Structure 1
Amino acid sequence: MNGLRVASLMAATMTTGLVAGVYAIYSNAFMPGLATTDDRTFVTAFQAVDRAILNPLFLGLGFLGAALFTLLAGLLGLKEKALPWIAVAFVLYVISMIVTMAVNVPMNDALKAAGDPATIDVAAARAAFDETKWQAFNLVRTVLATVSFGFLGWALFLTGKAVVQP
């Protein structure tokens, strides 16, 4: 059971870190880069990236896996010193998921629903998208997921100390 507890905590930490990294890349590279492009390039690139990220590796292992592994780590560590850190990490990560599903995904879907950039008014589609709002909520989910990752890292440290100590 101890091995499964540690493995689930390691998986939770790694997948949460990966998701936090994806969000951070959007904040620090992808969106600032797209902000400098013309409307057609922005709409085309954003639609393409949003379609590409909807894949089993990111959605299953990363986005959902981070929550499931964290929940499992918490359930397997109910009597452990690291549990409060795992619990807070889980809550923060779930809030980041809620922000994603309530704000960012609907905005992404609306931009995709605007249609083919070759046949639509791309300036209107981009304006309706509201990059500033998207980026603000992306920053919120980045911070939440990053803090969650940090708490899981601390929980992993505490778990390792408990395993090593007699």
Structure 2
Amino acid sequence: MTMLLLALITLVLHGALTGLFYTFSMSVMPGLNATDPAQAEAAMRSINRKILNPWLYLVFLGSPLAALVAGFLADGRAALWFFAAAGVSFAGSFLVTVAVNVPMNNALDAGTMPFKDYSPRWTAFNTLRAVASAVALVLVGLGLTEL
């Protein structure tokens, strides 16, 4: 696999992840907030179960890993941009997901967190993931310019 191809795959993965998080914050969650809380909870539980699929794992885990590999394979400034993208993606997407969003999803699923408490906090942290993913996307783009 050539370095350029790896960098382009890394760019696409970060773009897909950014789009996923952005879509939830700007349309899915506002749409659920506009419905009956019981229906919103049921819908979000279903979404949380169905989103766990190979395509999510490819994008979610692949984004920071591809940037890290690109960093190791690139030279000079390109390597620094890819390493920065990997770090931002890992901290702003992976760690936030594991530490905040997934536990909240589990609480919603268990019925221990009502949707009125879940939605604003979950959306705020999801928006953080969207911003971090967008920053990582830009960093990958900068790495591409240095190849």
TMscore range, shorter length: over 0.9
Q: CA deviation at 1:15?
A: 0.4
Q: Return the index of the structure with the highest Cα Rg.
A: 1
Partner of 1:40: 38
Could you say which residue in structure 2 is the equivalent of 1:126? 115
Question: Secondary structure of the equivalent of 2:132?
Answer: helix
Is the Cα–Cα contact under 8 Å of residues 16 and 59 in structure 2 kept in the other structure?
yes
> Of 101, 107, 121, which aligns to 1:110?
107
Say whether the 8 Å CA contact 1:90–1:148 is kept in structure 2: yes
Choose the corresponding residue for 2:131, options 140, 143, 147: 143
Match of 1:8 in 2: 6
Whole-Å separation in 1 of the counterparts to 2:46 and 2:4: 37
Q: Indicate the RMSD between aligned Cα atoms, in angstroms.
A: 1.5
| TM-score of the superposed pair, with normalisation by structure 2 | 0.92
Percent of aligned positions that are identical: 34
Ranges in structure 2 where 5+ consecutive residues have no aligned partner: none
What SS does structure 1 have at the residue aligned with 2:76?
coil
Q: What one-letter code is carried by the residue in structure 1 that aligns with 2:63?
A: A
1-side partners of 2:125 and 2:138: how far apart?
20
Residues in 1 aligned to 2:144 and 2:65: alpha-carbon distance in whole angstroms? 16
The equivalent position to 2:80 in structure 1, one of 62, 84, 87, is 84
SS in 2 for 1:37: coil
For residue 125 of structure 1, report the CA deviation from its aligned partner: 2.8
Tell me the TM-score normalised to structure 1 length: 0.82
